């Protein structure tokens, strides 16, 4: 095993560490179980050193010996003076940063179960040589050999694999807890160059929390006349609630902040309850967001770029989860927005990838592709039954067993489609072929293995094999991976847009298939039972079967089909019960009587129009 090189995002407010696992970046949780660690260091009265969450918790009791945001001092001759028991010690910013790095290193070692000696550390694009050297020194003090210092926006771009494309211009928008950075990068031959960078070191998500807090306190004063700002306990509850509300508004249009017993006055306890809509929140933070947009414009101007030059936009920092932020950017810059990777972790992930490259861990064998869209075959009723789900890493192979939909069906057609829609016809057809020469058999009996196999180059081979005769047929599809990004994106979007109706349609087909299967099974058991079924009962059941078939051929509504099915399956249950009773008294067991009740078996569509189309039935359980 090669020696690991970890990737560290040494942030102003929070830090994050990641490593490559099996070629993919993985964030390492700290000893407290969190995926990011506050960049805070403290020295207690007893001389104990605290780093991270614990240091943050005690900051108020120990303000003079608690150091936050040391990153702002890197590369300066600023010193932190710590006096414990009358003994004064001076710490350089490098030394304080080293304490954070040491904790990250130790947590990584505990997680990986091995020593960690090497790291890639990220710095803001605007860091000068002195600041970079200081960061490197901090690593050395922490016992880490810093294999490379890379820019945060570069790391984020690496995490999205943007180094693999040809010449591109990338804009990285990084809105963190307390700082905002914009960088424009140019990439050519895998090398990133920072064209321009700008930012605001005092702007971030914490400001949004404060705006919500202030608003809550204001509203409360208007309602009750009580000023919460003098009550630290109430303010803390407001702060927690404000942050929670902000996060919730990223996925919801409205949230309710409910803080019972927030305070009390002479008239008794007071409760806070406020509704906050996303629109109202967006209005609150608008001025701050406009400031970031202005900085983006400045950066573009400084880099002598127009918005049309930007090919890719990368979002970094937790605050970019806010929908309004994403809207503003896409309104501004038409480039493709990358935001799939957790924005709190994307920089560390990129650093880990750089570490993997330097360790020789990432090469062409490890960098495997994924299937961008689901690969399916068309089954009864036009449903797309997936064999290989999207995002499956290739090379890979999957086999499922299918059967026939009609009695004495002689051939089956394998129609291979690609896409996320539930109905095959809504997806992209990749090809079809026949497997012919099936021996005559009742429907549902033949077993046909369909195997999808994709090699490392994305070439898809589909083989169908009849288990009984060992007959096979196959097709090779080379274009499955050749969709361009825009096409993939379009197909995914369409699938999302149509998700509801597609689901309904697929369910309708499912019910029809089940209904047909039930009718077929009941008929079969009627004929199996023969004389044992009383004439009167037989007539009733046959009538119900006929009515169900009518509903199917008349394209009746799902509800109508369901109710006809319910009636039929009820009588067939009675039938089975009776048959069993007879069997147990006469000792003459009747196999097949239970078939009538197995309505769960996915069944074929019995409508005659499909008679010779040779659709394959839905899958068999092949465990």
Interaction site with another protein (CB under 8 A): 21-24, 45, 50, 54-55, 57-61, 63-64, 83, 232-233, 236-237, 363-366, 368, 391-396, 456
For residue 392, the Cα-to-chain-centroid distance in whole angstroms is 13
> Of the two residues 190 and 442, which places its CB atom closer to another protein in the complex?
190
User: Minimum distance from CB of 368 to another protein (Å)?
Assistant: 5
> Of the two residues 218 and 391, which places its CB atom closer to another protein in the complex?
391
User: Minimum distance from CB of 349 to another protein (Å)?
Assistant: 15
Is 9 among the residues known to form the active site?
A: yes
Is 477:431 a contact under the CB 8 Å cutoff? yes
Pair of tokens at residue 431? 């090809």
- Select which of 4, 9, 56, 344 is catalytic: 9
> Of the two residues 3 and 363, which places its CB atom closer to another protein in the complex?
363
User: Minimum distance from CB of 395 to another protein (Å)?
Assistant: 5
- Select which of 73, 107, 137, 152 is catalytic: 152
User: For residue 278, what is the enclosing H or E element?
Assistant: helix 278-302
> Of the two residues 150 and 259, which places its CB atom closer to another protein in the complex?
259
Helix then strand then coil, % of the chain, to nearest 5: 40, 25, 30
> Of the two residues 386 and 592, which places its CB atom closer to another protein in the complex?
386
How many CB atoms sit inside 10 A of residue 267's CB?
7
The DSSP line for 42-100 is EE-TTS-EEETHHHHHTGGG-GGGEEE-GGGGTTS---EEEEETTEEEEE-HHHHHHHH
Residue with tokens 């990749």, as numbered in its chain: 430
For 29-45, the three-class secondary structure string (H helix, E strand, C coil) is CCCCCCCCEECEEEECC
Is 296:196 a contact under the CB 8 Å cutoff? no
Is 174 among the residues known to form the active site?
A: yes
User: Minimum distance from CB of 54 to another protein (Å)?
Assistant: 4
> Of the two residues 337 and 368, which places its CB atom closer to another protein in the complex?
368
- Select which of 4, 56, 71, 105 is catalytic: 71
Is 622 among the residues known to form the active site?
A: no
- Select which of 94, 174, 605, 617 is catalytic: 174
Q: What is the C-alpha separation between 614 and 586, in angstroms, rounded?
A: 42
User: Minimum distance from CB of 209 to another protein (Å)?
Assistant: 16
Is 152 among the residues known to form the active site?
A: yes
The DSSP line for 534-603 is -HHHHHHHHHHHHHHHHHHHTT--HHHHHHHHHHHHHHHHHHHHHHHHHHHHHT---TTGGGGG-TTS--
User: Minimum distance from CB of 314 to another protein (Å)?
Assistant: 23
> Of the two residues 54 and 583, which places its CB atom closer to another protein in the complex?
54
The full length of the chain comes to 623
The DSSP line for 479-512 is -TT---HHHHHHHHHHHHHTHHHHHHHHHHHHHH
Q: What CA–CA distances, in Å, run from 493 to 199, 250, 384, 406, 489?
A: 33, 20, 18, 36, 6
User: Minimum distance from CB of 431 to another protein (Å)?
Assistant: 23
Residues annotated as catalytic (active site), given as ranges: 9, 71, 152, 174
């Amino acid at each position: 095993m090669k020696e690991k090189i970890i990737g560290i995002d040494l942030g102003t407010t929070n830090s994050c560490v990641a490593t490559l696992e099996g070629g993919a970046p993985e964030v390492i949780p700290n000893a407290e179980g969190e995926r990011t660690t506050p960049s805070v260091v403290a020295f207690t009265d007893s001389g104990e050193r605290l780093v991270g969450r614990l240091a943050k918790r005690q900051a108020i009791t120990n303000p003079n010996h608690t150091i936050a945001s040391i990153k702002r001092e890197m590369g300066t001759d600023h010193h932190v003076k710590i006096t414990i028991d009358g003994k004064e010690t001076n710490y350089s910013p490098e030394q304080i940063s080293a304490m954070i790095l040491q904790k990250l290193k130790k947590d990584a070692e505990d997680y990986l179960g091995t020593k960690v000696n090497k790291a890639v550390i990220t710095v803001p694009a605007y860091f000068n040589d002195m600041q970079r050297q200081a960061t490197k020194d901090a690593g050395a003090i922490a016992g880490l050999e810093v294999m490379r210092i890379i820019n945060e926006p570069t790391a984020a771009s690496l995490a999205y694999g943007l180094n693999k494309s040809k010449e591109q211009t990338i804009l990285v928008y990084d809105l963190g807890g307390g700082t905002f950075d914009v960088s424009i990068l140019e990439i050519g031959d895998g090398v990133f160059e920072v064209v321009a960078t700008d930012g605001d070191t005092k702007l971030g998500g914490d400001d949004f929390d404060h705006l919500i807090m202030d608003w809550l306190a204001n509203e409360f004063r208007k309602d009750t006349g009580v000023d919460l700002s003098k009550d630290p306990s109430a303010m803390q509850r407001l702060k927690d609630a404000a942050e929670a509300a902000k996060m919730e508004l990223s996925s919801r249009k409205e949230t309710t902040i409910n803080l019972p017993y927030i305070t009390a006055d002479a008239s008794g306890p007071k409760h806070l309850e406020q509704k906050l809509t996303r629109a109202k929140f967006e209005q609150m933070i608008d001025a701050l967001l406009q400031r970031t947009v202005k900085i983006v414009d400045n950066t573009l101007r400084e880099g002598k770029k127009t918005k049309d030059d930007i090919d890719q936009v990368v979002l970094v920092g937790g605050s970019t989860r806010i929908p309004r932020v994403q809207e503003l950017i896409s309104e501004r810059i038409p480039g493709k927005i990358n935001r799939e990777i957790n924005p709190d972790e994307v920089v560390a992930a990129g650093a880990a990838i750089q570490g993997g490259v330097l360790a020789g861990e990432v090469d062409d064998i490890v960098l495997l592709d994924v299937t961008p869209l689901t690969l399916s075959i068309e089954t009864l009723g036009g449903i797309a039954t997936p064999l290989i789900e999207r995002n499956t890493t290739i090379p890979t192979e999957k086999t499922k067993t299918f059967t026939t939909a009609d009695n004495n069906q002689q051939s089956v057609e394998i129609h291979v489609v690609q896409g996320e829609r539930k109905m095959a016809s809504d997806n992209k057809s990749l090809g079809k072929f026949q497997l012919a020469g099936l021996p005559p058999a009742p429907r549902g009996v033949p077993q046909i293995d369909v195997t999808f196999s994709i090699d490392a180059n994305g070439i898809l081979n589909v083989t169908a094999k009849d288990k009984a005769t060992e007959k096979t047929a196959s097709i090779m599809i080379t274009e499955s991976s050749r969709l361009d990004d825009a096409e993939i994106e379009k197909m995914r979007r369409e699938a999302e847009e149509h998700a509801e109706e597609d689901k309904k349609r697929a369910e309708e087909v499912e019910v029809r298939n089940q209904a047909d299967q039930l009718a077929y099974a009941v008929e079969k058991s009627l004929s199996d039972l023969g004389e044992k079924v009383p004439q009167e009962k037989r007539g009733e059941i046959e009538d119900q079967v006929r009515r169900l078939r009518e509903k199917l051929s008349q394209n009746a509504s799902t509800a109508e089909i369901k109710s006809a099915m319910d009636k039929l399956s009820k009588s067939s249950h009675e039938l089975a019960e009776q048959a069993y009773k007879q069997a147990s008294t006469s000792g003459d067991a009747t196999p097949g009587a239970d078939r009538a009740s197995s309505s769960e078996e996915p069944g074929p569509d019995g409508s005659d129009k499909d008679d010779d189309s040779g659709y394959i039935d839905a899958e068999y359980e092949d465990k």
